[in-house]
């Protein structure tokens, strides 16, 4: 039984190696290449460790970190669907839900249930922990765009108004202090173009 | 004061983007390229989330995860010093200590102190949390070598005895159940050559 549990856990840990090959739209800060979803997840977890005090409400940082570590694992099956792309929200949610079932389903049942629940909580963005995790997931690529002369905004011809509407509500809801910084950055960025 | 705190935190989070460009010896499981230290840190944190029940003693999984998220950040300044290389332990420790001071020193003082203490605890490998974190850091590349037909062992002409002595004590000390699996894998691997 013990062996079976461990075998399933190791099969899952091998499977998720593939997240290192899912390429996102955002570049590294030195612009040498695009970021992958595994290193993005590491960076976001570090954002949570460092910035937890700026959450809108008191959060359980350990839960936020776990959420961010596993939030993109579904991309192994469905890829990274970029914020400035045209995929329908419903289609994306359906695809990701199937992916979560398959991938977390590799784990022993109790762990599968825990991971699925944590991933769903993140997706629903209703709890304080999930709102903060979502805010960081939106904040990090904004920071990257600011420090790479526009990054995906320049590539996709995104306007100041679109940045405010696509990033603002989510960051504001989970981390207003971070949104205050973003507002200054974004305004200055678009003024300078 | 608040702004100053946040500015330091964001400067640190930008600086550690460079961990994505530190290349390790281990390949990805699909052997498409070598792994970098940021995605390695993500994967190890996931190992801790999934495998915490196999720790030798009861561990605080949240602390182990934080330790693993930041354990390689010093490599931004000193690079990844591979287990099968010839760098002296003392020289490596000295270089990494200076790097930890510079990198964690970018953070506000209380956070710098916390991160330094956690990193030193990991390096010293005396507490249950650190022993388990160290065991995972040794276990993951062993798993990669097993599932990539020898990986860095084949490249460096490493023998069964060297694998047992370089990986065994650390994995055994923190996670004996994982070492039991390793012993079977390693024995089979070297018999099959």
A105 DSSP β-pair partners: none
B94 and chain A in contact, CB less than 8 A:
no
Cβ neighbours for A80, distance < 8 A, ≥ 6 positions apart: A22, A23, A24, A25, A37, A72
B12, B15, B20, best to mutate vs chain A, most A CBs in 10 Å? B20
Residues whose CB falls within 8 Å of the CB of residue B6, separated by 6 or more in sequence, listed in order: A51, A54, A177, A178, A181
Q: Is the pLDDT of residue B113 over 90?
A: yes
Q: Tell me the two tokens of residue A151.
A: 């990054």
Amino acid B82: pLDDT: 73
Band (pLDDT 50/70/90 cuts) for residue B1 is very low
A13 with B46: CB under 8 angstroms? Answer: yes
- The third-level CATH classification (topology) of the domain covering B2-191 is Hypothetical protein af1432 (1.10.3210)
The token pair at B36 is 């970098």
Q: Which of A8, A15, A18, A20 to mutate to test the interface with B (most CBs of B within 10 A)?
A: A20
B-chain CB neighbours of A54 within 8 Å are 6
What ipTM score was computed for the predicted complex, to two decimals? 0.95
Average pLDDT along chain A: 94
Ramachandran class of A149: left when φ > 0, alpha when ψ lies in -120 to 50, beta otherwise: left
In this predicted structure, the answer to whether residue B5 has a pLDDT above a threshold of 90 is yes
Residues 6 or more apart from B152 whose CB is under 8 A from it?
Answer: B25, B26, B82, B83, B84, B141, B145, B158
Q: Which of A41, A50, A181 sits opposite B13 (nearest CB)?
A: A50
Q: Of the candidates B122, B21, B66, which has an alpha carbon nearest to the alpha carbon of residue A69?
A: B66
CB-based burial label for A117 (10 Å; 0-12, 13-18, 19+): exposed
d(CA A193, CA A191): 6
DSSP state of B32: S
- Report which of residues B81 and A104 the model is more confident about: A104
Query: Which residues are paired to B36 by β-bridges?
Result: B23
The nearest CA of chain B is from the CA of A64 a distance in Å of: 11
Determine the distance in angstroms separating the CA of B27 from the nearest CA of chain A, rounded to an integer: 11
pLDDT in tens, B31-69: 999 999 999 999 999 999 999 999 999 999 999 999 999
With a cut of 80, say whether residue A179 has pLDDT above it. yes
Give the model's pLDDT for residue A1. Answer: 44
Q: CB within 8 A of A52, min separation 6: which ones? A: A59, A61, A64, A132
Chain A's closest residue to B179, CA to CA, is A6
Predicted confidence at residue A2, as pLDDT, reads 54
If you write DSSP's letter for every residue of B83-98 in order, what string do you get?
TTS---HHHHHHHHHH
Calculate the average pLDDT of chain B: 94
Contact criterion met (CB < 8 Å) for B49 and A42? no
Total CB pairs under 8 A between chain A and B: 122
In Å, how far is A181's CA from the nearest CA of chain B? Answer: 9
The pTM of the full predicted model, rounded to 2 decimals, is 0.95
- Per-residue pLDDT for B3 more than 70? no
What pLDDT does A80 receive? 83
Cβ burial of B119 (10 Å; 0-12, 13-18, 19+) is: buried
To the nearest whole angstrom, how far is the Cα of A69 from the nearest Cα of chain B?
7
Would you state the structure tokens that stand for residue A165, as one six-digit string? 């509407």
Contact between A132 and A122 under an 8 Å Cβ cutoff? The reply is: no
Q: Is A148 helix (H, G, I), strand (E, B) or coil?
A: coil
* pLDDT of A114 over the 60 cut: yes
Tokens for B86?
Answer: 């010839």
Q: Does A91 touch chain B (CB under 8 A)?
A: no
pLDDT tens digits, residue range A5-26?
Answer: 999 999 999 999 999 999 999 9
Contact check, Cβ <8 Å, A21/B30: yes
Locate B85 and state its tokens. Answer: 């290389």
Provide the β-strand partners of residue B23.
Answer: B36
DSSP secondary structure code for residue A33 in this structure: S
Residue B27 pairs with which residues in a beta bridge? B34
Q: Is the pLDDT of residue A87 over 70?
A: yes
Task: Match 């977390």 to its residue by tokens.
Answer: A104
Which positions 96-115 of A are in contact with B (Cβ < 8 Å)? 107, 111
User: Among all residues of chain A, which has the CA nearest to that of B28?
Assistant: A17
Whether residue B130 contacts residue B70, with contact meaning beta carbons closer than 8 Å, is answered with no
Neighbouring residues of B114: CB distance < 8 A, sequence distance ≥ 6: none
∠ CA A63-A9-A64 to the nearest 5 degrees?
Answer: 10
The predicted structure's pLDDT at residue A60? 98
Domain residue extents for chain B: 2-191
Per cent of chain B over pLDDT 70 is: 96
């Amino acid at each position: 039984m013990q062996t079976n549990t461990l075998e399933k856990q190791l099969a899952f840990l091998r499977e998720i190696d593939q997240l290192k090959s899912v390429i996102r739209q955002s570049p590294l800060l030195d612009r040498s290449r695009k970021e992958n979803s595994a290193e993005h997840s590491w960076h976001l977890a570090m954002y949570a460790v460092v910035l937890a005090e700026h959450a809108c409400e008191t959060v359980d940082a350990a839960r936020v970190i776990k959420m961010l570590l596993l939030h993109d694992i579904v991309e192994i099956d469905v890829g990274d669907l970029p914020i400035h792309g045209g995929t329908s929200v419903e289609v994306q949610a359906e695809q990701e839900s199937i992916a979560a079932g398959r991938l977390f389903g590799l784990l022993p049942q109790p762990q599968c249930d825990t991971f699925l629940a944590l991933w769903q909580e993140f997706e629903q963005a209703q709890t304080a922990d999930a709102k903060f995790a979502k805010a960081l997931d939106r904040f990090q690529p904004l920071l990257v765009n600011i420090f790479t002369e526009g990054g995906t905004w320049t590539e996709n011809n995104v306007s100041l108004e679109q940045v405010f509407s696509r990033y603002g509500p989510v960051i504001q809801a989970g981390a207003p202090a971070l949104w205050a910084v973003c507002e200054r950055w974004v305004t200055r960025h678009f003024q300078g173009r």
